[in-house]
Amino acid sequence: MRVPAGGRDVLRRAITGQWRHTAGGAALAAGHQAGEALVPVVIGLVIDEAIAPGDGGALARWIAVLALVFATLSLSYRFSYRAAERAAERAAHDLRLDLTARILQPRGGAETGRLPGELVAIATQDAKRVGAVHIALTAAIAALAGLLAGGVALLRVSVPLGLLVLLGVPPLLLLAHLLGRPLERRSGAEQERAAHASGVAADLIAGLRVLKGIGAEATAVDRYRRTSRDSLAATLRAARAQAWHDGGMLMLTGVFIAVVALVGGRLAAQGDISVGQLVAAVGLAQFLLTPLSILSWANGEFAQGRASATRIASVLAAPYAVTGGGDGLPLPVRGRVRLREVFCGALRGLSLEVAPGELLGVVTGDPEVATSLLRVLGRSADPSPGAVELDGVPLSGVDPAEVRRAVVVAEHDADLFEGTLLDNVAAAAATPEAVPAAMAASAADEVAGALPYGAATPLTERGRSLSGGQRQRVALARALAADPAVLVLHDPTTAVDAATEARIAAGVREARAGRTTIMVVTSPALLAVADRVVFTDGGPSAAVGTHAELVHDNETYRATVLA
Amino acid sequence: MTAFRADPAEENTMTATDGSRAGERELLPVASAARVRAALRELARPHRTAALCGLAVLVAATGTGLLTAPVLGHVIDLVAQGRPASAVTAPVVWLAVIAVAQGTMTALGVSLVARLGEGMLATLRERFVDRALRLPLERVERAGSGDLTSRVTNDVSVITTAVREGMPSLARSVLTIGLTLVGLAILDARFALVALVAIPFQVHTVRWYVRHAVPLYAAQRVAVGAQQQRLLGTIGGASTVRALRLTGEHVGLVGRASQAAVDLALRGTGLVTRFYSRLNLAEFAGLSAVLATGFQLVRDGQVSIGTAGAAALYFHSLFTPINIALSLVDDAQAASAGLARLVGVAGVAGETDEDPREAPSRARGPVPHGPPIRVRGIGYAYRAGHPVLRDVSLDIAARERVALVGASGAGKTTLARLIAGVHRPDSGSITVGDAAPGPDGVPAGRHVALVTQEVHVFAGTLADDLRLARPGADDDELHAALERVGALAWARALPEGLETTVGENGHRLTPAQAQQLALARLVLADPPAVVLDEATAEAGSAGARVLETAAAAAIEGRTVLVVAHRLTQAASADRVVVLSDGEVAEVGTHRELVRAKDRYAALWEAWSDGRRP
């Protein structure tokens, strides 16, 4: 994936990626507009050549021509719009996938400072807006064609009348645009306030359980009513302004048509043009307003598309969280992990050594230290200064995806995904056979047993259908099934009951026998099965020993794990 | 140990057991067409005057606008009669006057129609939120919370679009069509009659369209929802995806979901374009009929050429309003479906005994702080035939702190929710204080607050969030509540202190801070009794201790039931209740139960094994 420089680049790539559809669509749409322009012309011809002289044969001929015009405009509309829509949807789809790939890129960095909901909105709404530029582009090209056709037709009727319309329409629309501009700006702000009401409602519904828990429903309803009334007032102001703007447009176009009728009527009275041509001219003057307003609409769409493209570009071009280092790891990975005076986040000179196959417990009283440690171990962040080495190779020189092939970091709040329980556990499994063993070791088999369809039960809303303890066990099973050379577990059992936790501790020890495992925990049940425990505050000095020794000798440690 | 093996079918799995397969969900009801109409009539009643005025003004505006064509026809006649060029000036001035009058009246009429629509919409959404927030939680959970959320977001926004964009243009289009036909009839009744040739084509087209569009758009909404869900899951879990090297797989999953939505959208486009193509046929049929009629009438000398020209122009100017009106069929369809879903929820509240006018936080009878809670023989099942609780009886003395202990799946959470009044017991009764149980065995009124691991930070300022629990609280009270749960230090350190915007789009609180906020709300709500369920589990082990201290401060002086995960919580409680397979297995103080050497003792053994020096 090439990283685009900015919004303009995103927009340009989206358009060039679909140019075939857009070009074909625009050609057909031009046919449609030209057809629409011809309808009043044909009406005028019917009046002149059939109705005025009372010629029945001419009537039949011209109605046949009208049928032809309608067939052409109808079919070209049909296929042009389809082509434009296809281009729009495909471009949006491609952008969506580019964004997803960037966000999930092993080097990370795209989520920094953005909530998931915001990123999803960019991948859906903004991608859609950029895609919609194709529709605007098609429509704009067609509108230009319509303008051209209408203009030529008018000039053929009468040069002064044609010039009047063609030169009169642009200033008219410019005037309308200028009138509309302050309105647009103001109503934008007011619509935002109006949208606020539905945002507040969704927020209250999302917190429904919390509101119910403390009996705050009535207060929340009162609060919502006030927000809703404020919104209503803002919306009404915006609607009123919009109505007067539209009314003003009606006046302007009406007066314009009157001027065309005045000039055309005088020309016709002087015998310069026929009655039918007068009818056609008035019809064309009305028609020409449409392509011109399409152009101004398309202009608005382009502006929105540009803004969306800029947001997309800022995600696609977000700096990586870790840069440099694209090497592989020497295989097989033995699993010797060493931290050399690592500084990163809350880590201030931490050194640590883990032997291959060791089951190490790391205890810290500061959650930030735990988070930072996990980040450097999984190369979500690089230490500076300091180094994290695996089998003597600094991780900062290794491709992050390769690091995670050897080192799996199972975070405390790891997410489950849509799919069955088994899908989740098997998602990253080293081999299919690893799955049942991992489920037994993490007591996830009990979770499956409690579900209506066992391990085949689908999990909804990121596993929210499970309780906290059940989710943790499934996530642990997934990590164990991955069977990496180095496994880092972070508080995997905080919501699990004590008896199950003891079983899990034994299960983890057995499942990880001979493989390096680092448990960043404060659970005595897990610490008791560790070969060695390091008690750290992120600084250079750390207390090391078995769990029993540390409990015995270190009062702070005792307070931290035995609260 | 074996006694604590999870019972295969229960506890927190309730949403999984009845919510895991979409087909098994019991979605919230949808109102019938008749009920929607009744609800609309009721909503419109207070705006009747504005509606009638708006309609009258719009009719006048449209009528005025239609004068344009006959005046143009008059110009044509003047020319055809060979009158001097100066004769056209007078009718042309009339054209300008007509335009100004039409513009003014349209603006006025549309403003009034907007007031009607927006006013109704505001009342509707307020009523919906009111009912939705008072729905029994049990009902919401049976439906899945997504059902309610999608109604309050998608349906409300669909209706808003229809009201804001559809209604004014529909009103104007329909009026234009109607009055144009009247205008045609005034020119000559035969013009209006032949113009009706287009109608069968249009009726047929619309019926064909609705038949195909409704199921297609329903499928499209589902696909777009699935795509959204997929993206939210994948992007929300991005760090997990990276840690497990699932990037390729997840990009593939998003790609499939997106492709499905794209395919359906393109099918929709195919349908829409065919729809308009067919309408073109109606335009052609009508226009040629009007032209042929004009030809005939002019030849027979019954109308002038000007009239025939005006009739053709009239009909040509009908194309746009007809297309607008018919295209709104779509929006109208979506809006009425959304409306039925909103009105449907309003109906649920009517069926429950929870009176929407009564603030649920207010007790029916006075309940002193720390009332005793009496649970008598309650049973409960999420699915018939799979009881989660069987004949559970339990007494919690005034101001007592009882810990509920048991393996996952023993029924702890269910019992906690029953006592908090979230669910109704299938049998037995629950009494809080001296209040007699209600007809369903639910404690009368709501005296028992429930705090769970689920935290939500409401969008708005921190102070507003806290005031949800006590609307009239002054800053001192807010500070005191935060102080009590140990949150004052970080709250003060926020960029704008208590006035900092938090929640979605605001300052992001850590899970532990959000939970402290929940406890501060509890302090402010000041309920006589509290149920804490896993309220301290989410923060990870280091954060948990901070929260436990905060929770202890928040519940002081109340009757408390704690669903205990860390057995230290049980050890420090006044009494411990051990649940096993939905039944009360043991009750006693921590010491008594440890001495009894039964289930609790085994559990304590497992817990404290590694803790002993």
* Chain B hits for A557, Cβ within 8 Å: none
Q: What is the pLDDT of residues B88-98, one digit of tens each?
A: 889 889 989 99
Average model confidence (pLDDT) for chain A? 85
**For position A563, what pLDDT does the model report?**
62
pLDDT in tens, A519-545: 998 888 899 899 999 999 888 878 888
B6 pLDDT higher than 60: no
Range from A249-258, A310-319, B248-257, B505-514 carrying the lowest mean pLDDT: B505-514
At B375 the three-state DSSP class reads strand
- With beta carbons under 8 A apart, name residues in chain B contacting A81: 269, 272-273
User: What value does the CA radius of gyration of chain A take, rounded to a whole number of Å?
Assistant: 35
Q: Which residues of B98-124 are buried (b: 16+ CB within 10 A; e: fewer)?
A: bbbbbbbbbbbbbbbbbbbbbbbbbbb
Q: Which among A155-169, A245-259, B433-447, B469-483 has the top mean pLDDT?
A: B469-483
| Selection from B258, B161, B20 nearest residue A120 by Cα | B258
State chain B's mean pLDDT as an integer. Answer: 80
Read off the pLDDT of each residue in B595-600 and give the average, rounded to a whole number.
86
Q: How far is A399 from chain B (nearest CA, A)?
A: 12
Q: Is residue A240 in a domain? A: no
- Specify if A250 maps to a domain: no
* Domain assignment present for A208: no
- Residue range(s) defining the domain that contains residue A451: 337-561
Residue A507 lies in a domain: yes
Q: What is the pLDDT of residues A145-180, one digit of tens each?
A: 888 888 888 888 888 888 887 788 778 778 777 776
State which of A64-78, A132-146, A448-462 shows the largest mean pLDDT.
A64-78
Instruction: Indicate yes or no: CB of B133 within 8 angstroms of CB of A414.
Output: no
Claim to verify: residue A352 and residue A480 sit in the same structural domain = yes
Query: A392 and A527, same structural domain?
Result: yes
A316 and A343 in a common domain: no
Residue A1 has a pLDDT of 45
| Cβ-defined contact of A415 to B233 (cutoff 8 Å) | yes
Pairing of strands B559-563, B529-533: parallel
Q: Looking at the structure, do residues A312 and A400 belong to the same domain, yes or no?
A: no
User: In the predicted model, is pLDDT for residue B59 greater than 50?
Assistant: yes
Q: Does residue A185 register a pLDDT over 70?
A: no
Verify that A417 and A555 share a domain, yes or no: yes
Asked if A302 and A410 sit in the same domain, the reply is: no
pLDDT for A72: 92
Which residues between 127 and 186 in chain B have a beta carbon less than 8 angstroms from any beta carbon of chain A? 128-130, 132-134, 137, 140, 144-146, 148-149, 152-153, 156-157, 160, 164, 168
Tell if the CB–CB gap between A111 and B137 is shorter than 8 Å.
Answer: no
The CATH number for A305's domain is 1.20.1560.10
* Top-confidence residue, A503 or B566: A503
Query: Where is average pLDDT lowest: A177-186, A363-372, B523-532?
Result: A177-186
Torsion of CA B60, B63, B67, B68, to 10 degrees: 100
Q: Indicate if A439 and A481 belong to the same structural domain.
A: yes
Q: Does B518 touch chain A (CB under 8 A)?
A: yes
Residue that is last in its domain, among A287, A321, A355: A321
Asked if residue A487 has pLDDT above 90, the reply is: yes
The total of other beta-carbon atoms located within 10 Å of residue A525's CB is 25
- Regarding whether A347 and A314 lie in a shared domain, the answer is no
Residue A557 and residue A493 share a domain: yes
Task: Give dist(CA A260, CA A262) in Å, integer.
Answer: 5
Determine the Cα–Cα distance for residues A116 and B241; give it in Å rounded to an integer: 14
Total domains present in chain A: 2
What is the complex's ipTM, to 2 decimals?
0.83
Give the pLDDT band (50/70/90) at residue B128: confident
Q: Please give the backbone phi and psi of residue B573, each rounded to the nearest 5 degrees, phi first.
A: -80, 160
Is the pLDDT assigned to residue B603 strictly greater than 70? Answer: yes
Q: Is residue A290 part of a domain?
A: no
**Rounded Cα distance, A296 and A274, in Å:** 33
| Residue B350 predicted with pLDDT over 80 | no
**What CATH number does residue A525 fall under?**
3.40.50.300
Task: Answer yes or no: is pLDDT of B148 > 50.
Answer: yes
- C-alpha separations of B132 from B3, B28, B37, B140 in Å: 41, 10, 20, 9
Percent of chain B predicted with pLDDT > 70 = 85
Residues of chain A contacting B360 with CB distance shorter than 8 Å: 212, 215, 217-218
Distance from CA of B443 to the nearest CA of A (A): 14
If asked whether residues A44 and A125 sit together in one domain, one would say: yes
Nearest to A254 among B95, B277, B446 (CB): B95
User: Any idea which residue has 């092993």 for tokens?
Assistant: A106
Taking the C-alpha atoms of residue B112 and residue A71, their distance in angstroms, rounded to an integer, is: 41
Whether the ω angle into residue A385 lies within 30 degrees of 0, i.e. cis, is yes
Task: Please check whether residues A312 and A344 belong to one and the same domain.
Answer: no
Closest in A208, A240, A259 to B111, CB measured: A240
- Which of residues A267, A287, A321 is at a domain's end? A321
pLDDT tier at B505 (50, 70, 90 boundaries)?
Answer: low
Q: Where are the beta strands (DSSP E) in A330-466?
A: 337-344, 347-354, 359-363, 387-390, 393-394, 407-410, 419-420, 458-459
Share above pLDDT 90 across residues of chain A, in percent, rounded to a whole number: 18
> Do B382 and B388 touch, CB atoms closer than 8 A?
yes
d(CA B522, CA B517): 9
A423, A537: one domain: yes
